[in-house]
Amino acid sequence: MGFARGLLTAVLARSCAGLFFELKAESAGPPECFKVTPGKDHSVHGSYEADGPSEGLVVKLTTASGKELFRNVNPSGKFTVEVTEEAPHSLCFSSSVEESQMVSFNFHVDEHGDGTHHDKDQMDYVTKEHTDKVEELVAKLEAKASDILDQQQYAMVREAVHRETAESTNARVMWWTFAEVAVLISLAFFQVSYLRNHFEQKQVV
């Protein structure tokens, strides 16, 4: 799991990622954490959902210094956090139940914060006549496009989790059916052998 966690951390170093993983029971080990390094004045957006026989999560987003920016104990949710320092941030999931569960989530870093933050040179440029409305429209379109991308990735991850659960259930049902067939065949063989021996003994008598 350590290698997989490292690989997921590398993926999260990019601007956006949709992932899912198996979260062990509360007593089975430490929380699962994933890191990303946003810049100052960026914003971090995310959503998550647990799926299992029983569901219970504790979700935290913390800075490198241990400052807690977000915490939630619901099995699903969304968050948006404004970043005030350029440093590694950790998104950690821990279980609050004694059964394994699948957790799906996506993690998106918006480099423009809420869509109104730009550097000084860009602000000087967009204050020119007839360009401020165009800039505002572009920012809104970019925010909408990012939101649509997040929702699509979230839906894809959820579908993958549910498909894996369904395939696992179907496999268990199939093996149970094979076991029933084997028992019925064994029982039929036993009955045939028993009746054959019974009639053979009667003929001898």
Sequence-ordered strand ranges (E) for 73-196: 76-82, 89-95, 101-110
C-alpha distances (whole Å) from 10 to each of 4, 5, 67 are: 10, 9, 22
Query: What is the rounded CA–CA span in Å between residue 141 and residue 158?
Result: 26
**pLDDT (tens digit per residue) in 35-46:** 888 888 888 888
101 with 77: CB under 8 angstroms? no
From the list 139, 112, 124, the residue with the least C-alpha distance to 40 is 112
Locus of tokens 């000087």: 124
Strand, helix or coil for residue 154? helix
C-alpha distances (whole Å) from 188 to each of 30, 181, 182, 184, 198 are: 51, 11, 10, 6, 15
**pLDDT (tens digit per residue) in 136-184:** 778 888 888 888 888 888 888 888 888 888 888 888 888 888 888 989 9
Quick check: 74 pLDDT over 80?
Answer: yes
